[in-house]
Structure 1
Amino acid sequence: MARQLPYRTIEAIFTTLHGIDPEPKGELEHVNAYTLVVAVALSAQATDVGVNKATRGLFAQVTTPQQMLDFGEERLLDAIKTIGLFRQKAKNVMKLSRILVDEYDGEVPSSRAALQSLPGVGRKTANVVLNMWFHQPAQAVDTHIFRVGNRTGIAPGRDVDTVERALEDNIPARFALHAHHWLILHGRYICLARKPRCGICPIYDHCPFEEKTA
């Protein structure tokens, strides 16, 4: 775990990432807030590619909580059976759909607390939805962001909550909305867990990671 980077270095890193991709996008396919909630909930311990493959056909038929209830759990199970933990995830999707219909008139709430009250929706999922759909500068920490935050010193911490707070505290306000996506994409495609691709890293000169590859 690297030491906390100075503010100016963090600013330089995000200036570089912004210059490469000013409007980074998440890779989970969705058509509205509800399908985003479902997609993110399904993505736990699964890849975005795998989730997209399963939900592409599903979201062609189902885009609202009521449609999901009408679709039914058995058909949902069949649609997402290629995703890890699909049985429990299907139960959670049906339960959260019922709650959205009964308590929120079928609309996805824009409150973190309300989102986290839904079955299968933890803080990370809630933060992704708040960031991607409601355009709030929430920082959803997954394994990629946890790794990048610690290696670079942008947001060092021994647990997810500490890294999330460090991101909120350390990222310049003008970069906060897109920081989640810049970091997750950097971790997914360049700062890999086993063999980081340091040779093509655009922030190489700012990164204090001691085990840089050639």
Structure 2
Amino acid sequence: MRYNETRDVMAIAPVIPVVVVPDAASGVEIARALVAGGIGVIEVTLRTEAGLAAIEAIANEVDGICVGAGTVWTAAQAARAIDAGAEFMVSPGIADEVNGVAQTRDVAYLPGAQTVSEIAHLRRQGVDATKLFPASVVGGPAAIKAFLSVFPDLVFCPTGGIKEDTANDYLALDCVPCVGGSWLVSADAVNAGDWEAVRAAAERAAAL
């Protein structure tokens, strides 16, 4: 199944794992472990040179997962990510040129916002789903409730500082179909090749 609507991507699982990969092979193993644990979505950030290669490898080698690119800031990055096989893109903040590429290429896009003015800007661009980053710093669930009073038709994917034991504080809100989390794929687990730990974390996350 191809996901080209942002809300459809957000509905796949209660947690979108935000992953920094050291190499493409690790990305494939992480994706397989997530699927085995019941999480069918992954956001591979472009913070390392291996990001694009990992996205391509996951798209080609792992069944049952929707792979996206995170930390996308430029039109060139967006185009390369889509060409590599990304089905959705995420930005920590506003990146209008990425939104333009997403609309042209019919790819789901989740831009970030932290303030009322930024959310208002996104709404004027036709965006009705936003990443709230860094969620724990800008007010957590209370901030989302305040934003919702002004933007009642918006849905949020809070990311940043969210842990396994705080995720449900956000997911309890009707306007939060999912959260973004890096805790599912810890650096220690990746460095040790402990894919069972990733699978177990995914299983717990899928049950949130």
Which TM-score applies when normalising by structure 1?
Answer: 0.28
Q: If each structure's strand is expressed as a fraction of its own residues, which one has the higher value?
A: 2
Which TM-score applies when normalising by structure 2?
Answer: 0.28
